[in-house]
A and B are shown apart, each in its own frame.
Chain A
Amino acid sequence: MPHKPPTKEELERRKIVGINEETITDVSSTDFPGHYPGEDHSWDIESFRRGFRIEFHQNDPFEASFSLIGVDASIANAFRRIMIADIPTLAIETVFINNNTSVIQDEVLSHRLGLIPFKGGHEGLHKFLKWWRKPTDEALVNNSYYDYNTVSLRLEVQCEHNDKAAAGETDPTKLYKHAHVYARDIEFCPVGRQDKYFSGADIIAPVNPDILIAKLRPGQEISLSMHMHKGVGSDHAKFSPVATASYRLMPVIKIERPILGRDAEKFARCFPRGVIGLEKVTKKEAAQKGSGYEGHDGELKAVVVDPMRDTVSRECLRHDEFKGKVKLGRRRDHFIYLVESTGQWESDAIFLEAVAHLKKRAADLEKQVINMVR
């Protein structure tokens, strides 16, 4: 029997992960050589180009949402992991504590300081600043700090009584001066050429100035300086440029038989707002034999408006009135990313950097493989 090429519907069906009431079907992709007899599914750059698409849904400096369509999960996941663990940022790495008489312990204070996200001039952060490597000889450590690999910060706060506070005042922030230590109290100390790259709007400063670092009472003091270095998220989470970088698969909702009237309203309530819409059954549809709309002219029917907003809660599968009328699924090659930057990079730049990083890694691997077979 000669092989028939798959229809468009069949190709579409192969891309869907089935979501049933309690089970999930067709989890793995099948577009690889040898799976379908008579079909060649070997990877080909031209067919990839034809099927690949990127759509941006939201692109704010600190939050971006976009879709990668027509790509395998391995690639999509590589981008996600690179964004979290391999894109470098600048963070506090060493804390030199001169005095800390607050109730928060030195170790805990240092840890908290390390987690504060900082921003600064992009050229300085991404081009001028280089890696700092701890010298193997401990004695040389003090000669390893330069303006191109270390950023110096200071935090000097002393808490005192506020003489101007009203009698009977109970709010510590009014009763005392500097009762709260915030991220904005951290001072940048430029060295060498850092003045050129990090001045004015480009100054190195906390992204969120209102982060509470510690609370003080009169007589207590925090006096310390800090060194920032470049690092990657695989070393420590404080270096990760993203608060979240995740993806989900595009939900698919297929209404197979009409859902009408009160059922349609109930059906819409099974989904987040905006996913299901209600439309009137047209005369044409009602006149069509076997459509399921006969005699329902003018009634409301449920239609899928925006499946992307669905959370795939499967609520609609719990109700008997929708049994056999709806099919849920997810598109296996449609990845909806959500990238939330911590502030040092623009969120879309993080993704572009991840692409560049994967390219570089692939080129490095190619070199190794060529060396290996030589």
Chain B
Amino acid sequence: MSREEYQVPTGSGSATGGGGGGGSFNAPAARDYAGESGGTMYYMCGDCAVRVPLEKGAAIRCQKCGARVLYKERTKRMVQFEAR
């Protein structure tokens, strides 16, 4: 499974099968980033590392230092790896 295909688990799946009687658990859910979504995207300033909010169509520029190099933030999704 590629990481693009990955479906974020809901975290509320119930245990099925298994005669162990013990508690089962699912893969951990992704963090809750609700409230950060919407029209505003955040970027990282390449010069001063400040978090820059950018509206659609706004000038690509750091509001603090004026640098024009902004980086995309890391994905908010949980990413799964094999420890191998």
> Which residues of chain A have a CB within 8 Å of any CB of chain B?
91-101, 106-107, 110-111, 113-115, 138, 141-143, 145-148, 150, 152, 191-194, 219, 223, 225-227, 236, 238
Known contacts A96-B79, A146-B23, A226-B83; 19 additional CB pairs below 8 A are A91-B83, A93-B82, A94-B82, A95-B80, A95-B82, A95-B83, A96-B28, A96-B78, A98-B31, A110-B81, A110-B82, A111-B83, A114-B82, A143-B16, A143-B26, A146-B18, A147-B23, A191-B23, A193-B22
| Residue in chain B with minimal CB distance to A97 | B79
Q: Known A92-B83, A113-B83; judge A146-B20 contact (CB<8 A).
A: yes
Are A143 and B24 within 8 A (Cβ)?
Answer: yes
How many A-B residue contacts, CB cutoff 8 Å? 95
User: A93, A147, A223: which has the most chain B beta carbons within 10 Å?
Assistant: A147
> Which residues of chain B have a CB within 8 Å of any CB of chain A?
1, 9, 13, 15-18, 20, 22-28, 30-31, 49, 74, 78-84
A96 to B84, CA, bound (A): 13
Are A148 and B22 within 8 A (Cβ)?
Answer: yes
Q: How far is the CB of A152 from chain B (nearest CB, A)?
A: 7
A113 to B82, CA, bound (A): 10
A146 partner, pick from B22, B28, B31, beta carbons under 8 A: B22
Are B81 and A97 within 8 A (Cβ)?
Answer: yes
A92 to B25, CA, bound (A): 17
A142 partner, pick from B22, B27, B79, B81, beta carbons under 8 A: B27
Contacts of A145 in B (CB 8 A): 24-27
Q: How far is the CB of A135 from chain B (nearest CB, A)?
A: 11
Contacts of B9 in A (CB 8 A): 142
A326 to B69, CA, bound (A): 76
A101 to B44, CA, bound (A): 12
Q: Known A142-B9, A143-B16, A219-B49; judge A101-B74 contact (CB<8 A).
A: yes
Are B28 and A192 within 8 A (Cβ)?
Answer: no
Chief secondary structure at chain B's binding surface: loop
Contacts of A97 in B (CB 8 A): 78-81
Contacts of A115 in B (CB 8 A): 83
Question: Lowest 8 A-B CB distances belong to which pairs?
Answer: A114-B83, A192-B22, A192-B23, A147-B22, A110-B81, A142-B26, A225-B28, A92-B83
Contacts of B17 in A (CB 8 A): 143
A356 to B78, CA, bound (A): 42
Q: How far is the CB of B50 from chain A (nearest CB, A)?
A: 10
Q: Could you write out 5 A-B pairs with CB less than 8 Å apart?
A: A91-B83, A94-B83, A148-B22, A191-B23, A238-B84
User: B1, B27, B49: which has the most chain A beta carbons within 10 Å?
Assistant: B27
A236 to B83, CA, bound (A): 10
Q: Known A142-B13, A143-B16; judge A238-B23 contact (CB<8 A).
A: no
A43 to B27, CA, bound (A): 54
Q: Known A106-B79, A147-B24; judge A99-B13 contact (CB<8 A).
A: no
| Residue in chain B with minimal CB distance to A223 | B31
Q: How far is the CB of B52 from chain A (nearest CB, A)?
A: 14
A192 to B22, CA, bound (A): 5
Contacts of A92 in B (CB 8 A): 83
Q: How far is the CB of A238 from chain B (nearest CB, A)?
A: 7
Contacts of A138 in B (CB 8 A): 1
| Residue in chain B with minimal CB distance to A112 | B83
Q: How far is the CB of B41 from chain A (nearest CB, A)?
A: 17
Contacts of A236 in B (CB 8 A): 84
Q: How far is the CB of A216 from chain B (nearest CB, A)?
A: 14
Contacts of B23 in A (CB 8 A): 146-147, 191-193
A227 to B24, CA, bound (A): 13
B83 partner, pick from A110, A150, A219, A223, beta carbons under 8 A: A110
A359 to B38, CA, bound (A): 64
User: A98, A148, A219: which has the most chain B beta carbons within 10 Å?
Assistant: A98
Q: How far is the CB of A254 from chain B (nearest CB, A)?
A: 50
